[in-house]
Chain A
Amino acid sequence: MYKRVLAAVNEHLNSEITARYAMEFARSCGAKLFICFIADKSLPHAALRNAENAVSRLFIQAEEIHVPVESISDSGDPAARIEQIVRRAEIDLAFVSTRRTDMKRRFYAGSVSRRLLLHLPCSVALVRVVHAGMIRPRRILVPLKARIDQVQQRAFFTAQFANAFDARLFLLYASPPAASLFGGHIHLTPIEWQQRLPESIAAFIKTLQQQGAEVEHKVSPGAAGKTIRLEAVAKPHDLILMGASQRSLISSLFQGNPVEEVLRATPCDLILFRPRHEN
């Protein structure tokens, strides 16, 4: 499914770590890796040198592990140029890092990473790196929502990612708590929660298992963002892999946005995946 994987690199350490994720993923898929650095015109010379060094380090590492690799360095508006490169090189999947400073803004609106996530004509894995010491995630937490679209591609990416790192997948459905008007909160045991597992999640699990992924799953009642974070710390998991939010800014303002909540205070590295094409 993914034959051409792009990693967007800049002067920051997190983009280099993101590119390492992309490299391992490309290796497991047998894909070609494009390491791409677009220098913004305002970029200071030291930062430029940092980014170029990162590109050359990554290039060498890719060659060392026999991943076909090509590096692209250019200047201009990063989002626009990367979009052009994706179209030109027919990239299937792009790994992009997002920064802490982006998180300070509501729904990280206007950031380069947000623009790339929304507008790149390929699937996008937006990576938030918070733990530089985690080299290979072994336990990946996959939070799910009740209705999952593009099941095939999501399952493929998830299974392939786990395969790339020889990791176990732990699926989590953070369900709204059970309650009644007069009875208030209703306690359900895990078995009772399992019986309420939405169909699309069951289908997703089945597809993952067909892909050969090792999967455990659980349902936890509670507010999604907080439940995901707590689960990630308590177990603990090394990486959270979740779907990108499809809520609009207005609906996020009113209903909250679990993806944004997790992004802001994730206890481990986080990947937001937005599939572009079915199959």
Chain B
Amino acid sequence: MKISSVTPQEVFRLLVSSPQGLTEDEARRRLEEFGRNEISELEKRPLWKSFLLQFTHFLAIILWMAALLAFLSEYFHPGAGMLTLALAIIGVILINGIFTFVQEYKSEKAIEKLRLLLPFRVRVIRDAKEHEIPAEQIVPGDLILLAEGDLIPADGRIIESNRLTVSNAPLTGESEPVQLSTEPDDHPLLECKNIAFAGSSITSGSGKAMVFATGMRTEVGKIAHLTGSVSDDLTPLQKEIVKTTRFVTFLATLMGIIFFFAGALTGRSFWENFLFAIGIIVANVPEGLLPTVTLSLAMGSQRMAKKKALVRSLNAVESLGSVSVICTDKTGTLTQNKMQVRVLWINGEIVSLSDAIHLPASVNFFRIAALCNNSTFVDGHSQGDPTEIALLQAAHESFSDISAARISEIPFTSERKMMSTLHRLDSGICIFTKGALESVLPCCTHLELNGQTLPLTAELRERILAGYTSLTDQGLRVLALAYRHATQAEISRTEIARESDLILSGLAGLEDPPRPEVPQAIAKCLAAGIKTIMLTGDASRTAVAIAREIGLVHQEPLVIEGQELARMSDEILRDNLRSSEIIFARMTPKHKLRVVTILKEEGERVAVTGDGVNDAPALKKADVGIAMGLTGTDVAKEAADMILLDDNFATIVSAVEEGRAVYENIRKFTTYIFSSNIPEIIPYLVYILFAVPLPLTVIQILAIDLGTDMFPALALGAEKPAGHLMRVPPRRPSERLLDWKVLGRAYLLLGPIEAAAALFAFFIFLSWGGWQWGEMLSSADPLYLQATTACLASIIVSQVANVFACRSYSTSAFRIGFFSNPLLLLGIAVEGLFLIALVYHPWANQWFGTAPLPAAIWWTMIPFAVILLVADEIRKLFSKPQIA
């Protein structure tokens, strides 16, 4: 039993209040007890905490420890360059932390927008007197006064109603105002006609309500609670990054420890081994990966914005690519949200609009359509309800001049589902009525047929119903139009009396036509293995007809209506959601969250569209929440990950394609970045195993990972989507970013060739300088500096070839074309400039321990670059086509 089920007297007793309101003392006590009437944010993590978390995860802790050890090493063993290393590691932590923070941080204002639904001040009766107080001081038991234009401050039970009408649109999405009464009502709370909800507005009338829930306990507060608390789960990409960094961290630490002890066994000093272990760790960690991912997502979001999909959270860019289910609204997204009269049932048959003009009965029909209508044409633009605009348009297309003075109107209400107007025509006074057939037909006694007015017999009623069924089967929304001549005396008669003895003129079949690009987009989803589920407030027949028209369903779909869904257990709903073709009809937005939750529990990656305030929790819960840019509320837009600037379903599909391309590109540059880990690690192994000078220093590794590799990697992030991208199913959740194919290609093929190139350049340069095997060189020796520079340069040159190889996993670099991605050429140019600076600029020489190289050494690097490209081309010949 709820507060809505009892009488107003009982409400006073239960809330220990009275028609005189609470006393100020009691109100103060209750304010202390129940808290302020305000929408608050429960789960907001302070910004500083989010920032701090980026520096305390698994990988960061390992790097902090490495930096600490390097500092200690510098303290106990100064002069070995450990201070520079420690600072460089801290730099890496900071860069990664800041990039991740920027990537994850999203300014969340949904709750702020919800707060705006509540008024600032409210009139209340306390101590039997009327007061105006701040709305936040309202407490349960307060008697509030409501008048036209007011916003309702808290959930209240209506105690007095003088034609009090409210718009619950922010809460229920229902645009029709609801008239409230004081009568007990046993419906579910949101459907009760005796409850005024916080955030709703009074459209007309006045009344009093007794507050029973304030702040976060109101229905709008519950939306805030859900919106604020539904966790933003890690996106698929974020999960993959976590797994990848854990794997790499483990591998790096393990290798560092193993080779530390291996070095000890070969008789090297503690500090040498320590330096070596740190080097191994730094070489293994792909420091540039996170910044590159972030920048790649940012570029993806820019491309999406050009396609009218405004991405609010960078991570959503990739999440879109992994979506396996799209739950979409119908009106405005799949359809144009522009009603049109398609056919008429007139004179006992279904006729097109153009044919109807020739029928005598159409004169009355279109007169009703034009006059019993509140929409208007102003300067060629129509204003008003879409259904009324469609009727007015049809009437004007058929008969250009229809006008008559309106005497009065019986307005449309959701309960009556009809409206009537009384007009003075040349021929006398007429009543015109339009509405749902089930409401209008009982008011009719005659039917206009073949120019005659016939009494409504059972046979004629059946004929009308057959016409109605035929129209609804086509997915049309059907309105019945009726009229009757009236006398002067009837002007003052009651509403019910006026709407009687009507003559049914005919039925209008209206539709909201699908957007032209939607069928193709649906077909694309189907080919891409993405399931599209329509959730609509419309009736099942309309929903199924539209679904058929756009190719969403091909067989007999499973249709679940809102009320049925409310009674359905999670288990049954779960089973139903496995159906290949399913439509949810007569849905209210509150059902969306449940559908999304169950789909997610089943392991689906879900995108959902929404526009209303109460869509916000579902938008937050989904992997990708998509708000409507044209019709969406601010709350929905703030809760969403992406905003559709044109409200068009086809735009979602384009964004999914872009998302898939982004993931494909991330795999490409992951391969590219991981390839350079091997030539960074191998020199250390050679150093420890063969007692030779260290071919590559830690700082030089960082120059590659955070310097030269970044620009081509970013260019790989801008590769165009491959043609087959939307012809393969969404990637499985079990599919890894760093799978064996990526690792094998990078660590067993591309990386070793680069390592060979690096070592070859290093040793050939040493031998040119007269170095003998086993001879150790000082770190300041010019020959040593040049040799390490040759090693570094050779890796970078190999990476230039590698970037072309990595443009596709299976398609030949020659087939893709070397000039098809101009950004790639730019990236390589920047990489080249960076390399020249590293080798020839004195400042860079000082920072990175490099030295200028003679021209001859460069020629030794070219063959390895060619070998790398050719070797990968051979591998591609034997590999199956796949994403990336």
User: Interface residues, chain A, CB within 8 Å of chain B?
Assistant: 11-14, 16, 46-47, 50, 54, 57, 99-101, 130-136, 138, 181-185, 187, 189-190, 216, 218, 222, 226, 229-230, 233-234, 236, 265, 267-268
Contacts and interface: CB of A to CB of B under 8 A. Distances in A.
B35 A230 contact: no
A234 to B, nearest CB: 6
Contacts of B6: 135
A184 B1 contact: no
Contacts of A13: 15-16, 29-30, 33, 140-141
Contacts of B29: 11-13, 47, 50
B35 to A, nearest CB: 6
A22 to B, nearest CB: 16
A12 B155 CA distance: 21
A25 to B, nearest CB: 16
A233 B225 contact: yes
A14 B229 CA distance: 26
B215 to A, nearest CB: 9
A186 to B, nearest CB: 10
A244 to B, nearest CB: 21
Per DSSP, are chain B's interface residues mostly helix, strand or loop, or mixed?
Answer: helix
B617 interface: yes
25 contacts: A13-B30, A13-B140, A100-B35, A101-B32, A130-B34, A132-B14, A134-B2, A135-B6, A138-B1, A181-B246, A183-B243, A184-B239, A187-B603, A187-B733, A189-B603, A190-B574, A190-B601, A190-B602, A229-B225, A234-B226, A234-B594, A234-B597, A236-B222, A265-B216, A267-B222
A84 B365 CA distance: 83
Contact of A184 (B213, B217, B242): B242
B250 interface: yes
Given A13-B140, A135-B6, A233 B246 contact: no
A229 to B, nearest CB: 6
Contacts of B140: 13, 132-133
B192 to A, nearest CB: 11
Interface of B: 1-3, 5-6, 14-16, 25-26, 29-30, 32-35, 42-43, 140-141, 155, 157, 212-213, 216-217, 222, 225-226, 229-231, 234, 239, 242-243, 246-247, 250, 569-570, 574, 593-594, 597, 601-603, 617, 733
B213 A233 contact: no
Nearest to B6: A135
Nearest to A20: B14
A100 B33 contact: yes
Contacts of B26: 50
A100 B32 contact: yes
B601 A234 contact: no
Contact of B33 (A99, A136, A189, A234): A99
A51 B222 CA distance: 31
Contact of B217 (A46, A230, A267): A267
B601 to A, nearest CB: 5
Contact of B15 (A132, A265, A268): A132
Nearest to B10: A135
Contacts of B234: 185
A16 B33 CA distance: 13
B597 A135 contact: no
Nearest to A46: B25
Given A46-B25, A189-B601, A230-B229, A135 B246 contact: no
Given A13-B30, A184-B246, A135 B601 contact: no
Given A100-B33, A189-B602, A236-B222, 6 more contacts: A13-B33, A99-B33, A135-B2, A135-B5, A182-B246, A222-B231
B1 A234 contact: no
A133 B30 contact: no
Contacts of A183: 243
Contact of B157 (A11, A46, A133, A234): A133
A218 B2 CA distance: 26
Contact of B213 (A16, A131, A187, A216): A131
A230 B213 CA distance: 18
A216 B246 CA distance: 39
B222 A100 contact: no
A183 B243 CA distance: 6
Contacts of A11: 29
Given A101-B32, A131-B217, A233 B222 contact: yes
B229 A229 contact: yes
Contact of A135 (B14, B213, B569, B617): B14
B228 to A, nearest CB: 10
B3 A184 contact: no
3 closest A-B pairs by beta carbon, nearest first, are: A133-B212, A133-B3, A132-B140
B213 A133 contact: yes
A224 to B, nearest CB: 13
Nearest to A101: B32
A113 to B, nearest CB: 13
A57 B16 CA distance: 10
A14 B35 CA distance: 13
A72 to B, nearest CB: 21
Contacts of B569: 216
Contacts of A138: 1
B2 A133 contact: yes
Given A46-B25, A133-B2, A182-B247, A16 B16 contact: yes
B230 A230 contact: yes
A213 B595 CA distance: 28
Contacts of A100: 32-35
A46 B28 CA distance: 13
A233 B226 contact: yes
B485 to A, nearest CB: 51
A234 B593 contact: yes
Contacts of B155: 133
B278 to A, nearest CB: 23
B617 A234 contact: yes
Contacts of A268: 217
Given A132-B15, A135-B14, A230 B226 contact: yes
B239 A185 contact: yes
A155 to B, nearest CB: 23
- Which one of A46, A101, A267 has the greatest number of beta carbons of chain B within 10 Å? A267
Contacts of A216: 569
Nearest to B243: A184
Contacts of A12: 29, 33
Given A187-B733, A218-B570, A135 B3 contact: yes
A132 B213 contact: yes
Contacts of A54: 16
Nearest to A261: B42
Contact of B1 (A14, A135, A189, A226): A135
Nearest to A218: B570
Contacts of B246: 181-182, 184
Counting chain B CB atoms within 10 Å of each CB, the highest count among A57, A101, A134, A135 belongs to A135
A116 to B, nearest CB: 18
A105 B219 CA distance: 27
A115 B594 CA distance: 40
A218 B14 CA distance: 34
A25 B25 CA distance: 31
Nearest to A190: B601
Contacts of A50: 26, 29
Nearest to A131: B217
Nearest to B242: A184
A14 B42 CA distance: 23
B591 to A, nearest CB: 11
B230 A132 contact: no
A132 B226 CA distance: 21
A120 to B, nearest CB: 23
A226 B43 contact: yes
Contact of A267 (B15, B32, B33, B225): B225
Contacts of A184: 239, 242-243, 246
Contacts of B574: 190
Contacts of A14: 33
Given A132-B140, A189-B603, A226 B231 contact: yes
